[in-house]
Chains A and B, each alone.
Chain A
Amino acid sequence: MATIEPTFDSWRTYARSLLSEKVHYDDIVWKTSGTGSLFDLMSADHRPSPAQLSIPQSFMQDAAFVSAFRDDTTWALLYRLAFRLIYENKHLMSVALDTDVLEFHRRMRLVSRDLHKVKAFVRFKEIKKNDESIYMAWHRPDHRVLKFSAPFFTDRFNGMNWVIFTEDESMSWINNQLTFGPGITQQEALAFDHTEELWKTYYGSIFNPARIKVKAMKKELPVRHWATLPEASIIDDLLRQAPKRLEEFYESQRASAVSLIQENVSSLSELKAAIINCAACSICSKATAPVFGEGPMDAEIVFVGEQPGNEEDMAGSPFVGPAGKLFMDALDKADIKRSDVYLTNAVKGFKWKEHNGMRKHVNPSSFEISACRAWVKSELELIKPRILVCLGASAAQSVFGKLMKVHDSHGKIFKTAFCDQTIILPHPSAILRTQDPEEKMHLETRFLGDIMALKNI
C-alpha cells in the first residue's frame, strides 16, 4: 500500500523507489490522503529525473498532465505504464491499441477537455477599487487542471489584473506576477457586474427559438457548470418561452401566408379574381376593393405606378384620377394607346386617412410594398414586357427590390428580373404637386419627352 498526496510529485517520489526495487504493479494499492499542495509541479524540475530508470521524458510530461485526472485509479495506471515501459516494452506507448495505453490517452483527452472548459467557461467579474480594476472568477473544473491553464490566461489577459478561484486552488496575475494560492470551497458572493446583464441580453437574443436542440447544448455546456456561468441563469426561461414565442410568431404570419399566390393562376383575370382574398397587409380592408392592373397580356410596355388614389378606388381602374389624366395626355401626345399598354400599381389598395372629411392619400410603407410585391411579380411574369417603366420611388422599390434614387436613375436602362429594359421615371403626380408654374411646365415637358423616348427603345 502506498499512501500519497494527490499530486504528481508525491506519486513520482513513491513510484521512483518502487520501480527501482522492481515492485510489480499488481502488488501495490495506491491510496491518496489529504489535499496536499498542488503546486509542486512547478518545483518538479529541480529534482533528479528518473532517467536512470529509462523512462522517456515525453511519457513523464504526459503523465504529469494525466495525473490531474481526479480519480484514484490514475496513480495505479501511471505506475503500471511506467513499470511496463521499463521492464516489459520500451515502445509500449506506440502500441496504440494496448488497453493501458488506450486508457491513458482517454484520460489525457478528458483532462484536455476539462482544461479547455477552464479556458472557455471562466467568467470574470470586474471589481473596481480606487479606479483600478481587478477581474475575479470562480470555476469548478472536473479535474485538477487550473495550473495548466496559466499560460493561456497570462498571455490573453496580460494587460489586466485577475484572480481565478477553484475548489482546490487559486491562481492570480497581479502586476504581471503569477502566483498560486489555496482554493475556496464555494463561489463567494462576488460583486455585481453590470456587464453581466448586457451579456445575458446578448445571449437571449442570439438564440433562435425556432431551432431548439437542448441535448446538443447540454453536451457542450454541461449542467454542472451552469452555476458559474451568468448566462446559464436564463436558459430555463428561454426554453420555457420558446414554444410560446414561436406560436405567436406563426400566428402573426398566418395572415400574410394566405396571400400566397396559387400556383395554378395562369391568366391576369384569374389573378384579378384571386386578389380579392389577399390579406397580406391591411390596406385593402380599408379600401373599397383592390385595384388590379389593366391591359392586354401581350402588352409591350408595362407602367407601374404607386397605388390607386381616391378616384381609382371608386372606379376600380388604375390611372383615372388627376395624375392619371396627366399621364394619359402624355401617352396621347406620344401616340401610345392606353389599350396597348398594361397599367398597374406597386400597391393595389388605396391607403388613406381622413382629413377634413376627405379621404387623403397616404404613402405606402416599405412593408406594404413588399407585401403586395407578389402580385406585381405575378403580373410581370405573365406579361413579360419588352419595356418596363417604374413611375416613382415606390414602383422602383417594388420592381428592383431595394431603394432606388429616382433622380439618379432617371431615364437609365436597367436589367431586372422582370425585364431587360427597365426604366425609372418620376411619378406624374410630382408635376401636380409643383406650385411654381415655370417649374411645372419644365417637369411636364420633361415627362412628355420621357414618354416619347420610350417609342425609340
Chain B
Amino acid sequence: MELKDKISILADAAKYDASCASSGAYRKAARGGIGNLEGSGICHSFTPDGRCVSLLKILLTNFCIYDCSYCVNRISSQIKRAKFSVDEIVNLTMDFYRRNYVEGLFLSSGVARSSDETMEEMIEVARRLRVDHKFGGYIHLKAVAGCSQELLNKAGLYADRLSANIELPTPKDLTNLAPAKTHTEIEKSMEQIQGRIVENIEEKKLFKKAPQYSPGGQSTQMIVGATKSTDRDIMTKASDLYGNYQLKRVYYSAFSPIPDSDPNLPLVKPPMIREHRLYQTDWLLRFYGFKVDEVLPTDHPELDLDRDPKLSWAIRNRGTFPVDLNSAPKHILLRIPGLGVRNVDKILATRTFQKIRLTDLAKMRVHLDKIRPYVVTADYTPPLSQLDSLHFGKHQGPETHVQLDLFSSFKESVTGEF
C-alpha cells in the first residue's frame, strides 16, 4: 500500500479524537536538531470543521481487537485497514515538521494484537524521533487501554503528554458500548501516569538532570451524545477526573456518526452546540470557581442549549445580583454574565485609581444591554424590579422549558454553526 493511502486511512480514523493541543511543555532545540517547545502550542492550520491542526494526528494502525461500538476502528467494522511502519511515521513527522506544518506528533492506535505490543511500537516511534533525530517538537502518545505500568513509565520519558481516554461518562455507558473496557482499568492507567508525574517533580527537585516525565501532563477524552447520560453526569465525571488525576484537559467530543456504525447508535449529525456548552462549563469550573452542583444542579441536569451556562446560572441565582463593580471581590465579579477573566482584571486594576462607570464597560467592549441588570456602577443602579420580574431573562434569549434532546433537529446542531 502506498504511503498516501495509509495516510488517508489512518488520519481519517484518527479524526474522531478531539485533542490536538500541543501546550504545557518547554523544550530547547538540541544543537543540530530540529524542533522546540515554547509552552503554548501553535495551531498551524484549521480544517473546514473549524478545528485546529497543530499535530500530525495519526494512528499507528486501525486494526483493533476491541469492538467498542462508538469507534470506527472496532473489529466488526468493515473499513479499510492499514498499518504504518515505525519508520514511516518517524519520517512523516520529520518531513511535516521541517516544513512547519505541525508542532509535532499525536500518535494513537488500534490495539493490533495486544495492548503491550502496540504500546511498545508507539514508544519506539517516539524514541527514534527523540534519540535518532534529536527531535524537540511535541509528542503526545495515547496510553493503550490495559498496557503495563512499565510501558507507561517508558512512554512518558519521550512524550510531552500522555492520555488515556475515559471514553464515556458513566461505567454503565461503557458496559453498553465498550463491553471489553472498564473505567477502573482506564483510571488505573491515569493513576499510574499521575503517580509518575508527581514522582518526577520530586526527582527534578533533587537532580536537575533527571529526565522529564510527561511534562505536559495528561488529558482524556469523553464521547458525548452516544448515550443518554446527562450533562450533569458528564461534568461530574470530568470534575472528578480533574480532581483525582490533575488532568490538564478533558476533551468532549460530540459523537459523530461513523461509517459502518453499530445499529444501536444514533445516526444523526453531532450535537455541536451541546459540545460547545460543555466546553463553556468546563471553563467555568476551571477558571471561574464554579462547582458542578451550581451550574448543573440535580433539578437542572442538562445545560441550556440556547444560552451560555453562566447566564443560565445567573438567571437561576438572581439573589446574587446586582453586584457593585467598585467593591465586589474578584470571585464575585467573575460570576457576572458577560464579564471574562481579562475584563475582571482590568476592572480590578482600574478601580484602585478611579470609580468604574458604564462608559468604562463600553470601552472594554462589554455588551451593555446584557450586563446592565447585573451590575451597579458609580453612575448606574439597575431597578430591582427588573431582577424580580417573572419575565426576567426573556430578553436574553428565549427561555426553554424543555431541554432539547440530543437527537432533535435543533438548527445549530445540524448546521454546526454557532
State the A residues within 8 Å of B (CB). 94-97, 99, 102, 116, 119-126, 135, 137, 152, 155-160, 193, 195-199, 201-217, 220-221, 229, 231, 235, 238-239, 242, 246, 249-250, 252-254, 256-257, 259-261, 280, 365-371, 373-374, 397, 400-403, 416-417
B28 touches A155 (CB 8 A): yes
CB-defined contacts of A135 to chain B, threshold 8 Å: 98-99
Bound Cα distance A159, B350 (Å) = 47
Query: Given A207-B49, A208-B256, A260-B263, A156–B44 Cβ distance below 8 Å?
Result: no
Q: Which of B29-37, B121-129, B375-383 lies at the interface with chain A?
A: B29-37
CB-contacts of B18-55 with A (<8 A) = 28-29, 31-36, 38, 42-53
Which chain A residue lies CB-closest to B362? A97
- Among B46, B179, B360, point to the contact of A217 (Cβ < 8 A): B46
CB closest residue in chain A, given B134: A159
Query: Does B310 have its Cβ within 8 Å of any Cβ on chain A?
Result: no
Q: Tell me if B77 and A367 are in contact (CB < 8 A).
A: yes
Kindly state the separation between the CA atoms of A121 and B34 in the bound complex, as whole angstroms: 18
B279 at the interface (CB under 8 A from A): no
The residues of A that contact B349 with a CB separation of less than 8 Å are 94, 96
**CB closest chain-B residue, reference A135:** B98
Q: Which residues of B contact A (CB under 8 A)?
A: 3-4, 7-9, 11-12, 14-16, 28-29, 31-36, 38, 42-53, 56-58, 65-69, 74-78, 92, 95-96, 98-101, 134, 175-176, 178-180, 254, 256-257, 259-264, 267, 269-270, 272, 346, 349-350, 353, 360, 363-364, 415-418
Bound CA span A291–B367, Å: 65
Residues of the B chain whose Cβ atoms lie less than 8 Å from the Cβ of A231: 45
Judge whether B75 and A206 touch: CB under 8 Å: no
B224 smallest CB distance to A (angstroms): 13
Q: Do the beta carbons of B50 and A195 come within 8 Å of each other?
A: no
Closest to B76 in A: A370
Decide: B417 and A206 in contact? CB cutoff 8 A. no
Known: A99-B363, A123-B101, A124-B99. A207 touches B15 (CB 8 A): yes
Point out the residues of chain B lying under 8 angstroms from A216, CB to CB: 46, 50, 418
Chain B residue numbers with a CB within 8 Å of A199 are 96, 99, 101
A216 to B279 alpha-carbon distance, docked (Å): 16
Residues of B contacting A95 with CB < 8 Å? Answer: 350, 353
**A208-B15 contact, Cβ under 8 Å, with A366-B76, A401-B178:** yes
Q: Lowest 4 A-B CB distances belong to which pairs?
A: A370-B76, A216-B50, A213-B50, A401-B179
The residue from A159, A210, A397 contacting B34, defined by CB atoms under 8 A apart: A159
Q: Is the CB of A235 within 8 A of B48?
A: yes
A365 nearest CB neighbor, chain B only = B78
B259 contacts A249, CB within 8 Å? yes
A to B CB contacts below 8 Å, 27 in the list: A97-B346, A137-B100, A152-B38, A155-B28, A156-B34, A156-B35, A198-B95, A199-B96, A199-B99, A199-B101, A207-B48, A208-B49, A210-B269, A211-B416, A212-B49, A215-B50, A215-B417, A217-B48, A238-B47, A253-B260, A253-B267, A259-B263, A374-B264, A400-B179, A400-B180, A401-B68, A402-B65
Alpha-carbon separation in the docked complex, A208 to B57 (Å): 13
B15 near A116 with CB under 8 A, answer: no
A367–B46 touching, CB < 8 Å: no
Q: A213-B50, A401-B180 are in contact. Are A195 and B99 (CB under 8 A)?
A: yes
**A202 contacts B34, C-beta separation under 8 Å:** no
CA distance A159 to B7 in the complex (A): 27
Would B33 and A159 count as touching, CB distance under 8 A? Answer: yes
